[in-house]
Amino acid sequence: MDLRLRDSVVVVTGASRGLGAAMAIALAAEGAHVVAAARSAQSLEAVAEQGGGRISTVETDMRDEASVAALVPEVIARHGRIDGLINNAGIAPAGKFVDQDPAIWKDALAVNVIAPMMLAQAAGRHMIEQQAGRIVNVASTTGVRGKPHLVGYSTSKGAVVRMTEALAAEWARHNVQVNCIAPGAFVTEAQKAVTESPELHARRVAKIPAGRMADPAELVPLACLLVSPASPFTTGGVFVVDGGESGKL
């Protein structure tokens, strides 16, 4: 199936590792011009080297509103347009809710909600003007169902889900599709503490009906489809990718 991504311009945040890196590399393989954004310039360059000359990088700090505000204008200055945005960057502070300082919540909301909102707004203005565009927000299964010791993360990702649905309804008439992916347990650097501990890994996998954690490559086809022109009537969706975990009682 031709996703018609060749020469489209797609921004991927949190693209220096894990799911973001996998999506950036896959989109480049589909022929898109990918702008990979993250804090680590060195890690971004390592990702760009795998893009066949189709991945450029922008060092962006999602905690810094000025840095976030500069991203979309930089993309348009380079390419003259923006066709897709994948809001993937996020943080997941863990801890007992009764012990958490409000500063931890503010940090999670800044990275997981405010930054994606700012980028969606900036990209959306351009997409509405060109009457075409796709935004994919990466939430989490904890944004669909709450999880103990991740109350701030669950709250922020729940906000991302609601933002996705509201923007989809508001922008559908402009041919701008907004969807959300809610990943479950994937083998990424963020899950290193789990994957490197046989005990923790066994306990985590026991909760997943599929009986394993997923590889980032297993998220890539859905992300590419949702950010492509091949799914023009799909908007406002929340696509859970978790091996059946959130579907069980």
Neighbours of 119 (CB within 10 A): 26
> Angle 31-221-72 (CA atoms, 0-180°, nearest 5)?
55
- Active-site residue flag, 153: yes
Closest Cα partner for 232 from 175, 188, 186, 189?
Answer: 175
Q: Using the 8-state DSSP alphabet, how is residue 134 labeled?
A: E
What letter does residue 242 receive in the DSSP assignment? S
Q: Give the containing element (helix H, strand E) for 29.
A: helix 18-29
Catalytic residue among 28, 127, 153, 225: 153
Residue pair 102/62 in contact (Cβ under 8 Å)? The answer is no
Q: What are phi and psi of 207, to 5 degrees?
A: -85, -10
Residues designated catalytic: 153
